[in-house]
């Protein structure tokens, strides 16, 4: 697909034409990754963050959330819960928390692998190459690092480096993660202030260029305790005529286009989408290209503290309730639950060569 084609899909408003986009994405999903939906158990192990991303509720400068970091034994308990609920993968996510030390994390990964055999996906932000290698050697299989926007100027404007640190290029980090041996995942937010239609089209083209194994995208959801949290922050697209406007279709257009450019990728219908459209978001995502759901298994007492955006879906549920709802929704759609690790067919095929 050319950049112009991607852009015109992003800006398409004709409901009949959009139906053809949803259909194409759904067909490609079925052909490439089948009717199986994989569940990934998500555990948010720390909301401590050294960064000050302008949109994120757990940014260092936000003094409102109490900060927590789960112990290795709490993480292991969550892994065992995921295993008992039938999951094949644990996704370990956190703020950019350097108090989460590399060797401690490596030790947790070793224990999770030994005691549960789950596939381990890490989403711990920008770390040193040595840390990434140590975690891979400890047994981690996948790494998620959203590049957030392919517009470098916009990226740097809303992701200032931590004090005393150099800005890094996430696309380069993703390439080095792949070299280490990880399955790599990335993604963007749709509708961030300052993002043009051209930028978002380039984001989708970047998914293809990186040939991602996993693609996670969601709408930008303003958090009131952040610099981009003001009412109408859409308009703070500095008066740009070309500012992306977030409407009810946009998050699904991004999912559908991701499926079109990376047919074999694992694509979740994200929590941000479920928060944006609590009634239908998750199901619409699964009907328009997605094949993965990531139920939040974080212990209930920590959930409220991991508020990257407001009213996050499943905010105060028990992990078991979150799980059961996901299973019901998948069954309602007539899709089957995945078993095992659910490695991306893209990764498996590449591994054959």
Sign of CA dihedral 299, 183, 54, 219: negative
Q: Does 272 bind ligand 5AD (CB under 6 A)?
A: yes
How many whole angstroms separate alpha carbon 180 and alpha carbon 175? Answer: 9
Which CB atom, from 110 or from 162, has the smaller least distance to ligand 5AD? 162
- Least distance in Å: CB of 340 to ligand 5AD? 25
| Closest to 275 (Cα-Cα) out of 297, 296, 245, 253 | 296
**Per CB under 6 A, which region of 2-10, 174-182, 219-227, 284-292 contacts ligand 5AD?**
219-227
| Closest to 81 (Cα-Cα) out of 338, 325, 321, 336 | 321
- Contact between 110 and 139 under an 8 Å Cβ cutoff? The reply is yes
- The single residue listed with the structure tokens 């996906």 is 121
- Least distance in Å: CB of 31 to ligand 5AD? 28
| Closest to 286 (Cα-Cα) out of 324, 244, 246, 338 | 338
Which CB atom, from 302 or from 309, has the smaller least distance to ligand 5AD? 309
**Per CB under 6 A, which region of 42-50, 131-139, 214-222, 319-327 contacts ligand 5AD?**
214-222
Q: Does 203 bind ligand 5AD (CB under 6 A)?
A: no
Among residues 29, 50, 146, 288, the one that binds ligand 5AD under rule CB under 6 A: 146
Could you give the 3-state DSSP secondary structure of residue 41? Answer: strand
The contact mask relative to ligand 5AD for 39-58 (x = CB under 6 A, - = no) is: ----------------xx--
The contact mask relative to ligand 5AD for 93-122 (x = CB under 6 A, - = no) is: ------------------------------
Secondary structure element (H or E) that encloses residue 218, with its range = strand 218-219
- Least distance in Å: CB of 47 to ligand 5AD? 11
Which CB atom, from 173 or from 189, has the smaller least distance to ligand 5AD? 189
Find the binding residues for ligand 5AD in span 149-188 (CB under 6 A): none
Give Cα separations from 307 to 17, 72, 146 (angstroms): 36, 22, 18
Q: Does 85 bind ligand 5AD (CB under 6 A)?
A: no
The contact mask relative to ligand 5AD for 288-327 (x = CB under 6 A, - = no) is: --------------------xx------------------
- CA angle, 83 as apex, 82 and 89 as ends, to 5°? 70
- Least distance in Å: CB of 227 to ligand 5AD? 11
- Contact between 58 and 95 under an 8 Å Cβ cutoff? The reply is yes
Among residues 155, 182, 197, 220, the one that binds ligand 5AD under rule CB under 6 A: 220
Residues 6+ positions from 192 with CB-CB distance below 8 Å: 55, 148, 149, 154, 158, 220, 228, 244
Give Cα separations from 152 to 194, 297, 338 (angstroms): 12, 34, 37
Among residues 185, 218, 268, 341, the one that binds ligand 5AD under rule CB under 6 A: 218
Please give the residue ranges that form the binding site for ligand 5AD (CB under 6 A): 55-56, 146, 148, 189, 218, 220-221, 223, 272, 308-309
């Amino acid at each position: 697909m050319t950049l112009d084609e991607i852009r015109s899909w992003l800006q398409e408003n004709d409901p009949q034409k959009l139906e053809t986009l949803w259909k194409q994405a759904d067909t490609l999903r079925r052909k490439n990754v089948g009717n199986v939906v994989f569940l990934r158990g998500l555990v948010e192990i720390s909301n401590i963050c050294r960064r000050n991303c302008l949109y994120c509720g757990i940014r260092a400068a936000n003094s409102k959330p109490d900060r927590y970091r789960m112990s290795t034994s709490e993480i292991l308990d969550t892994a065992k819960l995921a295993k008992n609920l039938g999951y094949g993968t644990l996704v370990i996510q956190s703020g950019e928390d350097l108090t989460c030390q590399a060797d401690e994390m490596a030790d947790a990964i070793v224990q999770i692998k030994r005691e549960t055999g789950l596939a381990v996906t890490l989403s711990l932000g920008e770390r040193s190459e040595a840390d990434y290698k140590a975690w891979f050697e400890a047994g981690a299989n996948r790494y998620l690092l959203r590049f957030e926007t392919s517009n470098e100027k916009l990226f740097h404007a809303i992701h200032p480096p931590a004090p005393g640190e150099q800005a890094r290029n996430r696309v380069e980090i993703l390439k080095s993660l792949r070299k280490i041996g990880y399955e790599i995942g990335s993604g963007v937010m749709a509708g961030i202030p300052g993002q043009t239609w051209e930028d978002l089209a380039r984001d989708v083209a970047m998914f293809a260029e990186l040939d991602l194994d996993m693609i996670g995208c969601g709408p930008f959801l303003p958090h009131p305790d952040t610099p981009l949290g003001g009412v109408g922050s859409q308009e703070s697209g500095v008066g740009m005529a070309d500012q992306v406007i977030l409407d009810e279709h946009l998050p699904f257009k991004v999912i559908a286009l991701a499926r079109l450019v990376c047919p074999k990728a694992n694509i979740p219908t994200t929590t941000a989408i479920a928060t944006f459209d609590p009634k239908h978001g998750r199901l619409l995502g699964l009907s328009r290209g997605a094949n993965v759901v990531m139920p939040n298994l974080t212990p209930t007492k920590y959930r409220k503290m991991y508020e990257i955006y407001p009213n996050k879906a499943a905010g105060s549920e028990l992990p078991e309730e979150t799980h059961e709802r996901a299973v019901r929704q998948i069954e309602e759609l007539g899709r089957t639950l995945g078993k095992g690790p659910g490695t991306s067919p893209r990764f498996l095929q590449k591994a054959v060569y």
